[in-house]
């Protein structure tokens, strides 16, 4: 067996290790999305309510209060750092696939743009730029789509014949 540094040429035990990592990483990522769904922050207005509160609505099912500065900084700090690591590791795996170079570059770099747009957008929304709710929604969707495409591509490449 000749190794050329591409993921599909790795020994079986290494492929299984990488596959286990990508599967568990995907479960963790999707669990985070389930949490977002629980906060009802999957619509532009839901995003606004999640960070700015809804105490002005008497008929709200769940009362939400505006996040304080300390809470916002904690949310932004933990999410930007942790999601950056998620995409750094996934991007490293994507880099050693046999996908076309431009596709690899997109799947490796775009998530970092989406991280800045999503969480920078959340901060700017919290500061009063309400139109950022659309940027947050779109960039979050793009980030998730790139995660799914990247994870599936790595898993397919792991079991590709040499």
How much is the pLDDT for 4?
67
Residue 64 backbone zone (phi > 0: left; psi -120 to 50: alpha; other: beta): beta
How much is the pLDDT for 118?
96
How much is the pLDDT for 95?
96
Which helix or strand (DSSP H or E) is residue 99 part of?
none
pTM: 0.90
Q: What is the mean pLDDT of each run of 10 residues along the chain (162 residues)?
A: 75 95 97 85 84 80 85 95 97 96 97 97 95 96 97 94 70
Structure tokens at 83: 């999601």
How much is the pLDDT for 83?
97
Closest CA to 117 of 138, 131, 91: 138
How much is the pLDDT for 162?
66
Distances in Å between the alpha carbon of 91 and those of 2, 22, 35?
Answer: 24, 11, 24
How much is the pLDDT for 1?
47
């Amino acid at each position: 067996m000749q190794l050329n540094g591409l993921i599909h040429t790795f020994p079986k035990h290494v492929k299984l290790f990488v596959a286990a990592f990508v599967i568990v990483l995907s479960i963790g990522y999707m669990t985070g999305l389930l949490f977002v769904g629980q906060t009802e922050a999957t619509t532009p207005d839901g995003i606004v309510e999640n960070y700015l509160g809804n105490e002005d609505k008497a008929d709200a099912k769940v009362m939400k209060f505006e996040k304080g500065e300390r809470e916002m900084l904690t949310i932004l700090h933990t999410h930007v750092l942790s999601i950056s690591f998620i995409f750094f590791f996934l991007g490293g795996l994507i880099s050693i696939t046999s996908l076309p170079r431009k596709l690899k570059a997109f799947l490796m770099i775009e998530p970092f743009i989406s991280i800045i747009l999503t969480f920078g957008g959340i901060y700017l929304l919290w500061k009063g730029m309400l139109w950022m709710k659309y940027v947050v929604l779109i960039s979050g969707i793009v980030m998730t789509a790139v995660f799914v495409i990247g994870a599936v591509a790595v898993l397919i490449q792991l079991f590709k014949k040499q």
